[in-house]
A and B are shown apart, each in its own frame.
Chain A
Amino acid sequence: MIEINQLSKKYKNADFFSVRNLDLKVEESEIYGLLGPNGAGKTTLISMLTSLLKPTSGTFTINGLNFRENKNELKKLIGIVPQEYALYPTLTAFENLQYFGSMYGIKGEILKKSIAEHLEIMGLSKFANKKTSTFSGGMKRRVNLIAGILHNPKVVFLDEPTVGVDVQSKNAIIDHLKLLNSQGTTIVYTSHHLNEAEFFCTHVAIIDNGEIILKGIPSELIKNQENATSLEEVFLAKTGKALRDYA
């Protein structure tokens, strides 16, 4: 489904590569977690895969389509749930979703039905006509998620979709993603919640300093790491305990 070959990104005036010669293969219907400390290169990688950033070198394909040659086709295949609430605060949840859905070419009753279904699943039906500026962080996250999946994409990229939300909202988001995955959607997501990733992801890759330092099935990674009983312990063993502050 996704094939990444020697992908690199070095920002202008930066001293180092944010992503360096990265190779990765994600198969269809996998839930692939990209884990790493702050500044590891996770968001940069997702930004390149979703057409937001131009790679310095390397290439990737999604569903066999090259990102340079089939940009518009690729955009139809993917959905993105960014880390920030990418919503218009003065528009209602329904209006936000109607607009972003329209940008994928969905229209009329099909769009309205799709919005209603997703809002229902996410427990937001009764807030459909409220402005999103009045929503709690958890509610905004859920609307943010719906905006990225309304067009039933083949691959969904999520950048820390559960950050800063309560347990109930997190649960609703994860459940909805599992439902999507069960319907054949491939999911690539980044997170700092390693417990969540351990149980949610079919595969994970630990990235540090722009490179993949470990990848595989979570249970196998735990098994192969000496004295590790959780993915968090594997993560700390591989990335160390030093603070990763950067500016």
Chain B
Amino acid sequence: MHKLWASTYKEFLLLVRDLGGIAILFIMPLLLLIVITLVQDSTFRTISDVKIPVLLVDNDKGEISKNIIENLSNSNSFEILQESSEVEAKEAVFAGKYQLAIIIPENLSASLQKKVDQNVEGILSKFGLEENSSSIAKKVIPQQEVRLYFDPATQTSFKSSVKNGIDKMISKIETESIYKAFQNELGEEDSEPIFDTENFIAFKEIFPTKNNVEILPNSAQHNVPAWTLFAIFFIIVPLSINMVKEKNQGTFVRLRTQPINYATVLGGKTIVYLGVCIIQFTLMLLVGMYLFPAIGLPGIDVSGKLPMLYTVALFSGLAAVGLGLMLGTIAKTQEQAAPFGSTLVVILAALGGVWVPVFVMPKLMQFVSMISPMNWGLEAFYDVFLRNVGFVKILPEISLLLLFFLLMLLISIIYNRRKNAV
């Protein structure tokens, strides 16, 4: 025990004497969290403050194009910039000056009207309501297309969302045109609509509740756990460098000649670096709770969740420290440890679902994700933060994190023993 305490104290001194290192350890993750949350915040807002400029070429100049422009403007997501030439609009978008151009074809209103009229008349004639059904000759009306040009750098998710939105809007306009045509054919006046064009079937998202209050997810609640975990796992870089330095300084050689087992050496490092993880976590929580609301971001609510959040942070920290110990044991130079460690964290974050949710990953990657400690940590944090679960629900995840730490520790000890066996 005395040796473990001495090792811990030594690690503490080494850490606090490197003020630059400490600043990087604590400040950079906070900066990362703030920047990412600011960037992602608009995604989570119902009404965005940001309007995306969109080029629109109106070759129709009819009722439908007017309707489309009105709908787009009312969506509050787009700033409509009218452009006269499709070629110029296309060039501007493909050059990356704009994300999107919408080209409304010539005679869209007229063609749609003809098509709808033809269909309505056809239906009515079947019911014998049309005066001279035999005189209706079905003409072929060519299909019209609204062309969309996207900046090649635009992300697929944005494209899909825009395409879906426009598709829905056009369907609604078409439906309204059909109803209107029926109304005209039935001789009703436009001023008194006889068809209700609003959707009959609506959907409502039901959120989890706590004390009968809905828990609405926001960017902070998604980002704080994800990027906190990312920062916690980045501990493997300074930890592995610390261990490689000991090898290069010769102090590790001296330790190997002393009556001390490797587990004690690693124990001292584990305690100190786990402490760093917990301090990091605390700072990030404080930023989420107090700084975010002060700068206009949604804050995080931790009321009643702190013990479970710290439990998840502790076990996530253990997993990260274990990985750092293994890397530090195996790496021979700082040039090996630093790039490998940082790249490994990014890979684990990607696999863990920090950037892309696991459920949208290909099947193989979903399976790989299941063996990523960052995924276990992230799921446990989401369970506590967003799903409002009890301790039993996070038990499997924190058990996996603990097992991962023990496995890393075991590998480190065995590797060290085999490498330095006498």
Which A residues lie at the B interface, using CB under 8 A? 48, 50-54, 67, 71-72, 75-76, 78, 80, 82, 84-91, 95, 98-100, 102-105, 107, 131, 147-148
Q: Which residue of B lies closest to A67 (CB)?
A: B422
- Docked CA distance A89–B260 (Å): 22
Asked if B211 lies at the interface with its beta carbon under 8 angstroms from chain A, I say no
In the complex, chain B residues 250-281 whose Cβ is within 8 Å of any chain A Cβ: 250-251, 253-260
Asked if B18 lies at the interface with its beta carbon under 8 angstroms from chain A, I say yes
The reply to whether A147 and B6 form a contact with Cβ atoms under 8 Å apart is no
**17 A-B pairs (CB sep. < 8 Å):** A50-B257, A51-B257, A53-B422, A54-B422, A75-B259, A76-B259, A78-B257, A85-B250, A87-B249, A87-B250, A88-B10, A90-B18, A99-B6, A99-B9, A103-B3, A103-B260, A107-B2
In the complex, chain B residues 2-21 whose Cβ is within 8 Å of any chain A Cβ: 2-3, 6-7, 9-10, 13-14, 17-18
Asked if B421 lies at the interface with its beta carbon under 8 angstroms from chain A, I say yes
Could you say which residues of chain A place their CB within 8 Å of the CB of B258?
Answer: 75, 100, 103-104
Could you say which residues of chain B place their CB within 8 Å of the CB of A75?
Answer: 257-259
Could you say which residues of chain A place their CB within 8 Å of the CB of B14?
Answer: 88, 90-91
Q: Which residue of B lies closest to A54 (CB)?
A: B422
The reply to whether B251 and A90 form a contact with Cβ atoms under 8 Å apart is no
The reply to whether B422 and A71 form a contact with Cβ atoms under 8 Å apart is yes
With known contacts A75-B257, A88-B14, A102–B3 Cβ distance under 8 A:
yes
One digit per residue, 1 when the CB lies within 8 angstroms of any chain A CB and 0 when it does not, for chain B 222-259 equals: 00000000000000000000000000011101111111
- Docked CA distance A90–B14 (Å): 7
Q: Which of B254, B259, B420 contacts A80 (CB 8 A)?
A: B254
Closest 5 CB pairs of A and B: A102-B6, A86-B250, A84-B250, A90-B17, A86-B254
The reply to whether B254 and A147 form a contact with Cβ atoms under 8 Å apart is yes
- Looking at the assembled complex, report how far the CB atom of A138 sits from the nearest CB atom of chain B, in whole angstroms: 17
Q: Which residue of B lies closest to A72 (CB)?
A: B259
- Docked CA distance A54–B256 (Å): 13
- Looking at the assembled complex, report how far the CB atom of B122 sits from the nearest CB atom of chain A, in whole angstroms: 88
The reply to whether B6 and A103 form a contact with Cβ atoms under 8 Å apart is yes
- Docked CA distance A147–B255 (Å): 11
- Looking at the assembled complex, report how far the CB atom of B23 sits from the nearest CB atom of chain A, in whole angstroms: 16
- Looking at the assembled complex, report how far the CB atom of A55 sits from the nearest CB atom of chain B, in whole angstroms: 8
- Looking at the assembled complex, report how far the CB atom of A146 sits from the nearest CB atom of chain B, in whole angstroms: 12
The reply to whether A102 and B2 form a contact with Cβ atoms under 8 Å apart is yes
With known contacts A84-B250, A90-B17, A52–B256 Cβ distance under 8 A:
yes
Could you say which residues of chain B place their CB within 8 Å of the CB of A76?
Answer: 259
The reply to whether A91 and B10 form a contact with Cβ atoms under 8 Å apart is yes
18 more A-B contacts (CB under 8 A) besides A51-B422, A71-B422, A103-B258? A54-B422, A75-B257, A78-B257, A80-B257, A82-B253, A84-B250, A85-B250, A86-B254, A87-B250, A88-B10, A99-B7, A102-B2, A103-B3, A103-B259, A104-B258, A104-B259, A105-B259, A148-B254
Q: Which residue of A lies closest to B2 (CB)?
A: A107
Could you say which residues of chain A place their CB within 8 Å of the CB of B254?
Answer: 80, 82, 86, 100, 147-148
Q: Which of A54, A87, A98, A131 contacts B251 (CB 8 A)?
A: A87
Q: Which of B3, B249, B259, B421 contacts A88 (CB 8 A)?
A: B249
- Docked CA distance A107–B5 (Å): 11
- Looking at the assembled complex, report how far the CB atom of A191 sits from the nearest CB atom of chain B, in whole angstroms: 18
Could you say which residues of chain A place their CB within 8 Å of the CB of B6?
Answer: 98-99, 102-103
Q: Which of B2, B13, B256 contacts A51 (CB 8 A)?
A: B256
In the complex, chain B residues 66-102 whose Cβ is within 8 Å of any chain A Cβ: none
The reply to whether B259 and A86 form a contact with Cβ atoms under 8 Å apart is no
The reply to whether B3 and A91 form a contact with Cβ atoms under 8 Å apart is no
Could you say which residues of chain A place their CB within 8 Å of the CB of B421?
Answer: 54
Could you say which residues of chain A place their CB within 8 Å of the CB of B253?
Answer: 52, 82, 84, 86
Could you say which residues of chain A place their CB within 8 Å of the CB of B257?
Answer: 50-52, 75, 78, 80
- Docked CA distance A217–B254 (Å): 30
- Docked CA distance A91–B9 (Å): 11
Of listed A51, A54, A100, A103, residue having the most chain B CB within 10 A: A103
- Docked CA distance A71–B259 (Å): 8
Of listed B10, B249, B256, residue having the most chain A CB within 10 A: B10
Q: Which residue of A lies closest to B258 (CB)?
A: A103
Q: Which residue of A lies closest to B251 (CB)?
A: A86
Could you say which residues of chain B place their CB within 8 Å of the CB of A147?
Answer: 254
Q: Which residue of B lies closest to A71 (CB)?
A: B422
- Docked CA distance A98–B18 (Å): 20
- Docked CA distance A67–B251 (Å): 22
Q: Which residue of B lies closest to A68 (CB)?
A: B422
Could you say which residues of chain B place their CB within 8 Å of the CB of A103?
Answer: 3, 6, 255, 258-260
Could you say which residues of chain A place their CB within 8 Å of the CB of B256?
Answer: 51-52
- Docked CA distance A53–B3 (Å): 24
- Docked CA distance A50–B18 (Å): 32
One digit per residue, 1 when the CB lies within 8 angstroms of any chain A CB and 0 when it does not, for chain B 354-398 equals: 000000000000000000000000000000000000000000000
Q: Which of B2, B10, B17 contacts A105 (CB 8 A)?
A: B2
- Looking at the assembled complex, report how far the CB atom of B331 sits from the nearest CB atom of chain A, in whole angstroms: 19
The reply to whether A88 and B251 form a contact with Cβ atoms under 8 Å apart is yes
Q: Which residue of B lies closest to A79 (CB)?
A: B257
One digit per residue, 1 when the CB lies within 8 angstroms of any chain A CB and 0 when it does not, for chain B 1-45 equals: 011001101100110011000000000000000000000000000
